[in-house]
Amino acid sequence: QKEVEQDPGPLSVPEGAIVSLNCTYSNSAFQYFMWYRQYSRKGPELLMYTYSSGNKEDGRFTAQVDKSSKYISLFIRDSQPSDSATYLCAMRGDSNYQLIWGAGTKLIIKP
Amino acid sequence: DTGVSQNPRHKITKRGQNVTFRCDPISEHNRLYWYRQTLGQGPEFLTYFQNEAQLEKSRLLSDRFSAERPKGSFSTLEIQRTEQGDSAMYLCASATGPNYGYTFGSGTRLTVV
């Protein structure tokens, strides 16, 4: 079993819909949680960065962390065709440098 | 400063040849990371520098791989005696500190034929 599980999709939704992307993890030591967006043939781009449990909002994006369930989510409101990309979750503990990544969810927003 | 720069963007090499990639991080970032990504997978950690010191190297990295960061500025990743299994996207990222997200470059896509 991988340390971080993420549904590869693809997830296809109509423009304007609310999108929910999720990751589950097994290591209770993880404290820092990130969401990255990756367009084809590009490097990942940081969208959200959260520490421990709770919610964080930035524009149309909301990140949620539930450490008790070892579950993190990214919500995208008013989705746009330009949001079509692969979304990767990443996380790490306090005492190491390595990020542990999910495999990514491919998101398609249909105009 | 336009972000993290990686060169070349794409490299095709024959099996057994050596290749070297370069990464120029954001100038004020003292932390630099190398990752490898294959299709449909998340990035896989290779190595980490804080300034010029290489502080961590993945156990998955064979002796054919070496990385340097002279003077704590740009970094190079060299792969010796390339194998077809080395074909991947090689990503470089930099950060200002441990509690900040990384900024990635666009990567170098290596194809070993």
Residue A53: φ, ψ to 5°: -85, 165
Residue B100, pLDDT above cutoff 80: no
B chain contacts of residue A58, beta-carbon cutoff 8 Å: none
Structural contact between residues B33 and B93, judged by C-beta atoms closer than 8 angstroms = yes
pLDDT in tens, B8-30: 999 999 999 999 999 999 998 99
Token pair recorded at residue A43? 């490097």
The mean pLDDT value for B78-99 works out to 92
The mean pLDDT value for B47-69 works out to 90
Measured distance CA(B100)–CA(A88) in Å, rounded: 17
- B35 CA to chain A: closest CA distance, Å? 10
- B-facing residues of A in 76-105 (CB < 8 A) are 88, 90, 97-99, 101-104
Tell me if chain A has a CB within 8 Å of the CB of B97.
no
Token pair recorded at residue A10? 């693809």
pLDDT bin (cut points 50, 70, 90) of residue A110 is very high
Tell me if chain A has a CB within 8 Å of the CB of B95.
no
Cross-chain Cβ contact B109/A41 below 8 Å:
yes
Measured distance CA(A10)–CA(A107) in Å, rounded: 6
**Percent of chain B with pLDDT strictly greater than 70:** 99
Judged by DSSP in three states, B85 sits in helix
Tell me if chain B has a CB within 8 Å of the CB of A21.
no
- A60 CA to chain B: closest CA distance, Å? 19
In this complex, the residue of A45, A90, A97 whose CB is nearest that of residue B56 is A97
In this complex, the residue of A42, A46, A97 whose CB is nearest that of residue B48 is A97
Per-residue pLDDT at A19: 97
A chain contacts of residue B44, beta-carbon cutoff 8 Å: 101
Q: For chain A, what is the mean pLDDT? A: 94
**Percent of chain A with pLDDT strictly greater than 70:** 99
Nearest-Cα residue of chain A relative to residue B88: A41
Residue B74, pLDDT above cutoff 70: yes
Residue B99, pLDDT above cutoff 80: no
Residue B2, pLDDT above cutoff 90: no
Per-residue pLDDT at B1: 53
Burial class (CB in 10 A: 0-12, 13-18, 19+), A95: exposed
The mean pLDDT value for A29-33 works out to 93
The mean pLDDT value for B100-112 works out to 93
The mean pLDDT value for A69-90 works out to 97
More confident residue, B25 or B59: B25
Mutation pick from A97, A100, A105 vs chain B, by most beta carbons of B within 10 Å, is A97
Query: For the residues of A38-77, what is the DSSP string, one character each?
Result: E-TTS--EEEEEEESSEEEEETTEEEEEETTTTEEEEEES
Tell me if chain A has a CB within 8 Å of the CB of B25.
no
pLDDT bin (cut points 50, 70, 90) of residue A28 is very high
Which residues, other chains included, contact A7 with Cβ-Cβ below 8 Å and sequence gap of 6+? A22, A105
Residue of A49, A58, A107, A48 lying closest to A83 (CA atoms): A107
Per-residue pLDDT at B113: 97
The mean pLDDT value for A82-94 works out to 94
